Structure 1
Amino acid sequence: MKLLGRRGLAKAGLATAMLAAPGNARAQALPKVRIWGASATIEAYHGFLFLGMPLGFYRDQGIDAEFGTAAGSAATLQLVATNQAQLGYVGMETLILAKARNPTLPVTAVYLQDRGNIYEIVVPEDSAIRSVADLRDRNLGVANLASGAIPSIRAMLADAGLNPDTSIGMIPVGNGAAAATALRANRVQALSLFRAQHAVIETLGVKLRYFQREQPSAVLIANTNFLRSNPDACVAALRGVVAGSVFAQIAPQATVREHWKMFGRPTGISEEEAMSRATHVLTRSAELWKRWDDAATPWGSMTREQWDAMQQFMVTQKLMERAIDSGTLFNTDLLARVNAMDTAPVIARARAA
């Protein structure tokens, strides 16, 4: 299968097949699983999904995997619902809203990836703003006025005793260098983009202080019909995600190199600077995952209480009228088998990379 670069991705449209496992007689006989991300471009911090391709984690678990991406969680969820992809990485809110609208939609969460909240508020490290309450009468920058960060911002402001409608100004500043410029110029005194973008801004020389709201944010969903018929293949795919998560955390530079082999190295800056920036963004983003050496937390684990809390947040923020049965949103039946895998070989390989 043809591997597309960043420019080719943009031209290829909403859902783009990225890479298939190497073709050989054994691979052709293995169950086929399409695993899809939810970003217009793939960055090194998506290594938990894509590393299984070049490093053979999926093949070693007994599946013939294909990795691709779509422009956003809603697009990825639609691909999984129609079984064009069997697993997809999506925001929890997207899944909840989809199931609230269509309870029979054949998708379910099977693995919690982002255990922390990707949406947060940041200020310069030397700012006089020491708490969310200190944001009163300040301007806060967001990517745009339809940003997914806004409900979390409103919840954090309310928790701090501020009126989300009147206490702050909310100004669209874009992402990356444009957002950093707005912060440096004091056009805004705080930003709320998402974790990877905040890390990008740090690579531009802006040290940040973080204010966070505890809440998980993204899961891997499965097509429920495929899950019912092919539980072994789903377990294998999720074990590949575990392996990718372990490797990326232990060996961020090797992960970046694999990313460059697949998608190309950034131009216009030195290789050393490109590596420094990419590893910083990867490491910061991976702070939201289960730590590879956290023996107390099973990989992918999630609870009804977490889904109930997410729905209550969404009702409070008027993203939905009423909660649905959280039991219809997730299935943890595979996780005991997923967690039975031996990660020692992956750890050793990452340390040697």
Structure 2
Amino acid sequence: MNPIPNMLRTAALAATLFSVATALQAEPLKTVRIGYPPAWSAVEAAIPFGDTLGFFKEEGIALEYVSVQGTAILLPQVANGSVEFGIMTPDLAIIAASKGEPFPVKFFYNFYPRNIFEFTVLENSPIKSLADLKGKTIGVGALSWGNLPMSRLMLSDVGVTWMKDVKVLPVGVGPAAWERLKSSSVDALNLPATQNVMMEQAGTPIRRLELPEEFRKVFSNGIATSNELIQSNPELVAGMSRAVSKSIAACMAATENCVRSYWKIDPSSKPTADNEAQWVRTFVAVNQGTYTIGELASLEGKHGVYTESDWKNIVQKMKDGEQIKSADFDISALYTDRFAKDSNDFDIEAVRAAANAAQP
């Protein structure tokens, strides 16, 4: 047999594949906006890490980071398509749906399958439980934050009525918020776990008030997009789901590389050389702490997945706490599990290898 024709066919096939690959690489990336309240930072380093590792580009996505002050602002922007994807709590979407006025959005990715918001006090505070907050002042990030309906419900469950038995003040996040606690202008803070780890790392001893187990298990932030985008470009949503899962897996595998890589997304965030070690320790602790509280390490093969029982649970809790008048509405208007398979369709060992090999 003459090997020349086979060699020519092989060469021709290689040339064809090269041409196809080149054409694919030449395809312009689709720029999509991803919103997060209150602001992007190394507090949430996973998605930016995946961005630097090329996970989103592999899906044809170029990310544009958008920061807003709360779910109440972000949810309408996702609904009208001015922001394609939003990371937020589901409370406000549930309230709207219960009134028969659902936003035209669906949550498609369960980002934190456990509650990551906490009530914290100074370590030497006489406040020992949620019930002890009666007559006190609580600082929250902003009155537009989407976690507040669930916070109201937790307090109501122990006999503390929101804005009646307890005063609620918007204090923002970061050092300004922590100073309000340290100066006793608020008695407690109701912020995400990321903020509390950072406060500890900055040298403020705090204590977390115990949350009822039934509330701790309620999922927190998810990723939502518009119904229109799901219908018109499901491949984009599937690619987003997969890239997010890869990003989270990568950050859990190599958290120091993950937080250092944030400097590529926001060069202004890089600290001075004398502050670099502490900066890295802080944000490694923040990200690892969130993964622990969110129980993300147990999600291999189940990243991003919502179940009907998850949603029935949170809806019923909001009904019991009188946050909504009725739980008798179609919860399928709130979420979709259509992209669950896509969220887990990747080689996790290859992702971990890429994370560990990253050069921040």
Same fold (TM over 0.5): yes
SS of residue paired to 1:216: coil
Distance in 2 separating the partners of 1:322 and 1:44: 39
Preserved contact between residue 252 and residue 288 of structure 2 (Cα < 8 Å): yes
Pick from 193, 196, 199 the counterpart of residue 198 of structure 1: 196
1:128-165 CA-partner distances (Å, limit 9, x unpaired): 44332343444433345665554333322232344555
- Judge which range, 267-276 or 49-58, deviates more: 267-276
Partner of 1:271 in structure 2? 276
* 1:223 matches 2:226: yes
Of the two, which has the highest radius of gyration? 2
Cα deviation per residue 1:34-87 (whole Å; 9 max; x = unaligned)? 251223531113333333322111233x32333321414344444443444443
Cα distance in structure 1, aligned partners of 2:119 and 2:182: 16
Aligned-residue RMSD, C-alpha: 3.2
Aligned-partner SS, 2:119: strand
User: Does the 8 Å CA contact 1:251/1:350 hold for their aligned counterparts?
Assistant: yes
Within 5 Å, which residues of 2 pair with 1:128-167?
128-143=126-141, 148-164=146-162, 167=165
Q: Normalization by structure 2: what TM-score?
A: 0.77
Deviation, 1:177, is 2.4
Equivalent in the alignment of 2:4: none
Displacement of 1:239: 0.9
- 1:10 aligned partner: none
1:335 equivalenced with 2:332 (yes/no):
no
Whether the aligned pair in 2 keeps the contact of 1:120 and 1:149 (CA below 8 Å) is no
Instruction: Please tell me whether residue 253 in structure 1 is matched to residue 253 in structure 2.
Output: no
Deviation at residue 106 of structure 1 after TM alignment = 3.7
How far apart in 2 are the matches of 1:146 and 1:188? 19
- Map of 1:312 onto structure 2: 316
Answer whether contact 2:56 2:63 (CA < 8 A) is retained: no
1:235 paired residue among 233, 238, 241: 238
Task: Summarize deviations over 1:106-147 as a string: whole Å, max 9, x none.
Answer: 421111102222332112344444332343444433345665
Residue of structure 2 in register with 1:41 after alignment: 39
Alignment of 1:65-84 (within 5 A): 65-71=62-68, 72-84=70-82
Percentage identity across aligned positions?
Answer: 26
Render the CA deviation track for 1:282-311: whole Å, top value 9, x for unaligned: 22333354524544x711111223223333
**CA 1:33 to 1:90, structure 2 compared with 1: closer, same or farther past 3 Å?**
farther
Summarize the alignment of residues 175-194 of structure 1 with structure 2, pairs less than 5 Å apart.
175-194=173-192
Query: 1:63/1:110 Cα in 2 relative to 1: closer, same or farther (>3 Å)?
Result: same
Q: 1:63 aligns with which of 60, 63, 80?
A: 60
Structure 1, unmatched stretches of 5+, are 1-23
Q: CA–CA distance in 2 between the matches of 1:128 and 1:104? A: 42
More helix by share: 2
Structure 2 distance, partners of 1:31, 1:224, is 22
Q: What do residues 316-351 of structure 1 show as CA deviations (whole Å, max 9, x unaligned)?
A: 555444343111111102212322322111112223
SS of corresponding position for 1:66: strand
Equivalent residue number for residue 346 of structure 1: 351
Aligned counterparts of 1:90 and 1:164: Cα–Cα separation in 2: 22
**1:238 shift after superposition:** 0.8
Deviates more, 1:215-224 or 1:313-322: 313-322
Give, as a single letter, the amino acid of the residue that structure 1 aligns with 2:35.
G
Equivalent in the alignment of 2:16: none
Per the normalisation by structure 1, the TM-score is 0.78
Equivalenced residue count is 328
